[in-house]
Structure formats: C-alpha cells, structure tokens
C-alpha cells in the first residue's frame, strides 16, 4: 500500500516472448497512469458474443477516453482467463500502430471498433472531432465455454514501447 513515487517511471509492462531455437524477444511498454487507469476487465456471459464485447469497448471509451489523452491506441483482449485477458489487451498495444491483426476476422473487428470509437466524436484531447483513436488492436485466446473475458487497455498518443531480440545461448552458441 506504499504509494511513494518510484522516481524512475516504474513499474513498466515487460514481457519476454520465447521462440524455441531462435531466442527471445523482450518487449517493454511505458504508460502513464491516466491511460492505464482507463482500463477495464469484464467477465461477460458467453451469450453476449461480439456485440457484448463491442459494448464493453465503446462504454469504456465513452467513460474514460478523456482521461487517457486521446487520440488513443486501444488494446482489446478477448478470451483466456480473468488474470490473462488484461495481458492480452496490453500486449495488443505492442503491435506497430495500424498494423492489422493476422487473422482476417480479427482485422475486420479492429476496423469495426476503430470506426465506432471515432464516431463517438470525443476527438483529440477530448475536445471533439473524429480522431478519438488512431488504432484498435485486438488479441484473442481460447477460453472456457462458460466465460467471455474482455479487457480494454488504452494507450495515449505518447505511448512508448521498445522491443529487442535476445540472443539464443542454447546449443553452444
């Protein structure tokens, strides 16, 4: 419960993605409190389907976007479990802005959400306009049939991230 400022912008989101035989990639994402405080995790009934997911994202943007410093990059996670879905949403923010998801269906959903978010009219700095978000990135994972976890993690226009390839030290290299 110690709320002392660390003075060094920590903690940061850090993730290591292992690639057997090829090493690993270290991802680091620095975010401000305003955009992270605008996050949300919701456990929907599975029957809510895509319309339920879309409602969660749009409600979150309408309620919290002004605090997250728009124009935004919106990370959305769907699936996995309560504790993992937030990581999916944050991981989605690591993708290069505007790069569509590999899955055509996910890319279509991203475009649908981006259009709906920009139609809210919140705009840059929440002063109105059509550029509330620059991108929506969606990450999904399998989940239990009785659950539909959804997470929204907004990144502000000054979001900072870096990735570095780590050397594979295996097999005598």
pLDDT at 130: 92
pLDDT at site 170:
59
Name the H helices within 24-154: 33-37, 49-64, 82-92, 104-118
In a domain, 55, yes or no: yes
**Domain-embedded: residue 39:** yes
Residue 10 placed within a domain: no
pLDDT under 70: residue ranges of the chain: 9-11, 32, 168-173
**63: in domain:** yes
Residue 14 belongs to a domain: no
Residue 109 in any domain: the answer is yes
**How many structural domains comprise the chain?**
1
Q: What is the pLDDT of residue 164?
A: 82
Domain assignment of residue 13, yes or no: no
Q: Which domain holds residue 38?
A: 33-157
Judge whether 16 lies within some domain. no
Beta-strand runs (E) in the chain: 13-19, 23-30, 40-44, 72-80, 133-143, 148-155, 160-166
Residue from 78, 37, 79 nearest 60 by CA: 37
- What pLDDT score does 48 carry? 97
């Amino acid at each position: 419960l110690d709320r002392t400022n660390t003075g060094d912008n920590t903690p940061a989101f850090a993730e290591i993605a292992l690639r057997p035989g090829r090493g690993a990639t270290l991802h680091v994402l620095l975010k401000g409190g305003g955009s992270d405080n605008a996050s949300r995790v919701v456990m929907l009934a599975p029957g809510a389907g895509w319309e339920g997911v879309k409602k969660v994202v749009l409600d979150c943007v309408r309620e919290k976007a002004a605090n997250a410093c728009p124009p935004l990059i919106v990370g959305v996670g769907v699936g996995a479990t309560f504790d993992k879905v937030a990581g999916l949403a944050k991981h989605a923010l690591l993708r290069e802005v505007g790069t569509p998801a590999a899955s055509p269906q996910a890319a279509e959903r991203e475009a649908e959400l981006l259009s709906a978010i920009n139609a809210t009219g919140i705009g840059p700095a929440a002063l109105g306009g059509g550029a509330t978000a620059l991108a929506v990135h969606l990450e999904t994972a399998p989940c239990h049939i009785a659950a539909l976890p959804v997470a929204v993690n907004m990144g502000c226009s000054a979001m900072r991230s870096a990735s570095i390839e780590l050397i594979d030290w295996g097999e005598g290299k």
